[in-house]
Amino acid sequence: MKYIIIKPIDGYDSKQRCEAMNKELWHISVPLAVKNQEDITSELFGEIELTSGEYSLHIDEDYEIVVNDSLNVDALVALFPELTESEKNGLVAYIENSESFLFKNIIPQGTNLYTYGEMLDLGLLEEIEEI
């Protein structure tokens, strides 16, 4: 398990962006249009508040995301304004043309992944029992 620090963007603080990204990642497999109303699951990974006040996704790089035919990734892609149009188009095409994929295959280039120890060393987490 690793951590991705979620930086704020226009219109979203770190917590809001983290929550939105997590929900949109979940919607790749379970779009709102097909979600069972009794299913309370709405997020793919854990979200952790850091000592800096920012938030982090606690991710499994090798988690296999199954793609639902009814998916719409526009909202997910909109959460990555730092990507070029070419990178956004490539991300959309990759997801839409896959039956499933490993999460690590859609992590944008340049994204830093941190181990629990690295997060402790950076002072971003207080020592807790890792999940």
- Determine the pLDDT at residue 130: 53
Look at residue 130 and tell me if it is in a domain. Answer: no
pLDDT mean over 109-123: 95
- Determine the pLDDT at residue 36: 56
Look at residue 38 and tell me if it is in a domain. Answer: yes
Q: What band does 37 get if pLDDT is binned at 50, 70 and 90?
A: low
Q: What is the DSSP string of the chain?
A: -EEEEE--BTTB-HHHHHHHHHHHHHHHHS-GGG--TT-----SSEEEE-TTS-EEEEE-TTPEEEPPTT---HHHHHT-TTS-HHHHHHHHHHHHT-SEEEGGGGSPTT---B-HHHHHHTTSS------
Number of domains in the chain: 1
Tokens of 94: 């990759």
Look at residue 126 and tell me if it is in a domain. Answer: no
Residue type, 131: I
Look at residue 9 and tell me if it is in a domain. Answer: yes
Express each pLDDT in 58-114 by its tens digit: 999 999 999 988 888 999 999 999 999 999 999 999 999 999 999 999 999 999 999
Look at residue 129 and tell me if it is in a domain. Answer: no
Residue 37 structural domain: 2-121
Look up the pTM and report it: 0.86
Distance in angstroms (rounded) separating the CA atoms of residues 93 and 73: 10
Look at residue 56 and tell me if it is in a domain. Answer: yes
